[in-house]
Amino acid sequence: MGELVGDSVYERYGNELPLLIKILDIDGPLSLQIHPDDNTAMERHNSYGKTECWYIMEAEPSARIYLGLNRTLTAQEFYDMCKNNTIERALNVITPKKGDLIHIAPGTLHAAKGGILVAEIQQVSDVTYRVYDWGREHDPSTAREMHMDLAIDCIDYNLLVPESLLRLEGFCETPYFKIQEQEIIEPLVKNSHFHDGFTLYFVTEGSVEVFTGKTMEKIGRGEVLMIPASLGEYRIIGKGKVLEISCI
């Protein structure tokens, strides 16, 4: 397993692959939610927490992302505003653009509305705490399970400047993975031995071919290729854009 994921990654995670990529096609409102950190998730759910990054693949002009609080609140104030359907006024609102990369740390309130296609790069975890569902939670025909009791002591109630989470240069580093957006025009030569871990390539535009010397793999938009830690030198050719995701 160490040859696949790298010795340091194997020591940290064992036989589990620690990263997951999802494609989120958001049309209707996404519930306001948070994810716990590793310590809380392990204690409560025997799971890792969830640090994630959103890469915006497409966004309609009407799309909106809600990210953190625009003022500092107490837990009671936050609870009351959710119950009174007034929490939206306390949330930062950003208009996403194609190519935006957003770092969402554990405890950060987030939601979305409108037409958005998102590539979500995250720790492997299904632990999500919903705290507000745009009034749908009060209608028996649309109500879903809510988790305010679990979330209340995990939320970051401090004022957040949303620009601090935007990675406009196409680079994002978290304690668990690094993301670098790259445009492939000329052949790109890489070597997996320069990084003690595996690498994922996710195509956001066009298509590319990855040559290892013995094999060739072609990947198109929305597809992922894993480069084993032990592979050595490889080449990427084609015309397109990729996210290079390195597990730490």
Q: What pLDDT score was predicted for residue 169?
A: 81
- Tens-digit pLDDT profile for residues 102-112: 999 999 999 99
What is the pTM (predicted TM-score) of this model? 0.94
Sheet holding 110-113, edge to edge: 91-94, 64-69, 110-113, 30-34, 129-132
| pLDDT mean over 201-218 | 94
Residues with Cβ < 8 Å from 132, sequence gap 6 or more? 31, 32, 82, 87, 111
Q: Is the pLDDT of residue 168 over 80?
A: no
Q: Structural domain boundaries of the chain? A: 19-169, 176-247
Q: What pLDDT score was predicted for residue 24?
A: 97
* d(C-alpha 199, C-alpha 64), whole Å: 31
* d(C-alpha 221, C-alpha 238), whole Å: 12
Nearest CA to 126 out of 52, 186, 197, 198 is that of: 52
- Tens-digit pLDDT profile for residues 9-49: 989 898 999 999 999 999 989 999 999 999 999 999 999 99
Q: What dotted CATH number matches 176-247? A: 2.60.120.10
Q: What pLDDT score was predicted for residue 142?
A: 79
In percent, the amount of the chain with pLDDT more than 70 equals 100
Q: Is the pLDDT of residue 119 over 80?
A: yes
**Domains 19-169 and 176-247 equal at CATH topology level:** yes
Phi, psi of 77 (to 5 degrees): -60, -40
- Residue 184 tokens, joined: 């492939």
Q: What pLDDT score was predicted for residue 116?
A: 98
Mean pLDDT computed over every residue of the chain: 94
The residue to which tokens 């950003």 are assigned: 94
Q: What dotted CATH number matches 19-169? A: 2.60.120.10
Q: What pLDDT score was predicted for residue 204?
A: 97
pLDDT tier at 76, thresholds 50, 70, 90: very high
